[in-house]
Amino acid sequence: MDCDAFRDEMIDLLYGEAAPAATARLEEHQAACRACRDELASFRRLRRDLASWRTPPDLGRAPRRLGAARPYLAVAAALVVLVGGGLALRGSELRYEQGRFAFRFGQAPEAAALSTALAAQDERHRREMDTLRATVTAASRSDEETLQKVRQMIADSEARQATLVTTGLTRLEERTEARRQYDLAQVGAGLSYLDGKAGLQAARTTELMGHVLQASQKK
Amino acid sequence: MTLASKLTRTMAPTDEELVEQFQGGESSAFDVLVYRWERKVQGAIYRLVGPGEDVRDLSQETFLKAYRGLRTFKKEARFSSWLYQIALNVCRDRMRRGRGKSYVSFDELVEAGEAGAEAGPSALDLIEARDLSRQVAAAVAALPEEQREVVVLKEYQGLTFLEIAEALDVPLSTVKTRLYRGLGQLRQQLVRQGIRGGAPVPAPTT
């Protein structure tokens, strides 16, 4: 018997798409062919088994496994988890517990990990703040000391400067006085020399004039 | 305009009418088509490529290609067949380009199931439905591509043979032959894994 000739009809019948005439032909064949009858029955059982494979309800969402391969998805997922986790943590403990059992199993360890992470971060933040505060206080204290030292240094420096200036002035005064006296001596000497010279010149001029006078008188 | 109001306004139109609206310049008609088909397309992609792949990603790629091609879509074809054709091509591309293999291994399915079990209810389906669901998934994944496509479109997407023939661009008889072979292979595979449901009843010796 040519069972293969009825194969398409059997498939049609299996999925409810067989035309009445084809169904009648197949049934006629199957009445005489146990193998075809069994095959149709086994395919029907198979279809029941196949129906057990259902698509997951969160099909449209990105699978978590891809997070490792695609960092931006992981970041996005982390943001979502963070926001969701933050909201959950803001609520009461009871709400959190409900969330833990009412929804996904996967979220419970994540939320727990999140709260641990948040607590750790908070702790770290507080530690850092304390350290920072201590540093600031220490800095202000040492600043005052420095200021004092600077003031002292300035005072010392001013005193030293004053001494130097005084000393300098005294020395300058002494030197200037010496110079002045020397110059005065020089000027005095010069004047007497000029005086002498002038006297000589005057005498000579007078003598010359006398000679001129005598010569004119003789004429 | 909200999607809901858009839907009430366009609840009646068929896919082909929506395509016509879209081609007439009403871009929002495409939103309705996406709303109508997204879940089904995602289901098909999930079963074609396996749980390890990013279904949402491939689904978005499918609808993006559909959006680009819809202006020149020929009205004599069925929109659903055409859409599935795009989805099938996207899946084929991904499998050839991505992994250099045509199906996910059983180990990967189990691994994905376990990873998912930690992640959320998605994988709980696989775990809760126990061996049968997992083994069915593995058996379908192990089919040759041509058979797997027909099995997925018929068994899980509920397309008619004609729609499948259109989507695959092959004769009706080819679709039926591939399906027959695919079912035979699945039955064999499940029997090998100890699931007796699909096993043919042995003919009496007398």
Share of residues in chain B with pLDDT > 70 (%): 72
pLDDT at residue A60 tops 60? yes
Amino acid at A163: T
Average pLDDT over residues A182-193: 80
Contacts of B47 in chain A (CB under 8 A): 53, 55
pLDDT tens digits for range A120-150: 888 888 888 888 877 766 666 666 777 788 7
Query: How many Å lie between the alpha carbon of A56 and the closest alpha carbon of chain B?
Result: 4
Please give the interface size between A and B, counted as residue pairs whose CB atoms are below 8 Å apart.
Answer: 136
Interchain proximity B120–A60, CB inside 8 Å: no
Amino acid at A86: G
Query: Structure pTM?
Result: 0.54
Give the pLDDT score at A47: 94
Mean pLDDT (chain B) is 81
Average pLDDT over residues A26-40: 91
ipTM of model over 0.90:
no
Tell me how far apart the terminal alpha carbons of chain B are, to the nearest angstrom: 72
Query: How many Å lie between the alpha carbon of A23 and the closest alpha carbon of chain B?
Result: 16
pLDDT tens digits for range A93-127: 444 444 444 444 444 556 677 778 888 888 888 88
Contacts of B115 in chain A (CB under 8 A): 64-65
pLDDT tens digits for range B46-84: 999 987 678 889 999 999 999 999 988 887 788 999 999
- Contact predicate B151/B177, CB 8 Å: no
Interchain proximity A104–B121, CB inside 8 Å: yes
State the alpha helices, DSSP H only, in A33-106: 34-50, 66-69, 71-90, 93-102
Q: Closest Cα to residue B49, out of A51, A105, A66?
A: A66
Distance CA B94, CA B97 (A): 5
Choose between B179 and A6: higher pLDDT: B179
Query: How many Å lie between the alpha carbon of B190 and the closest alpha carbon of chain A?
Result: 9
Contacts of B137 in chain A (CB under 8 A): 53
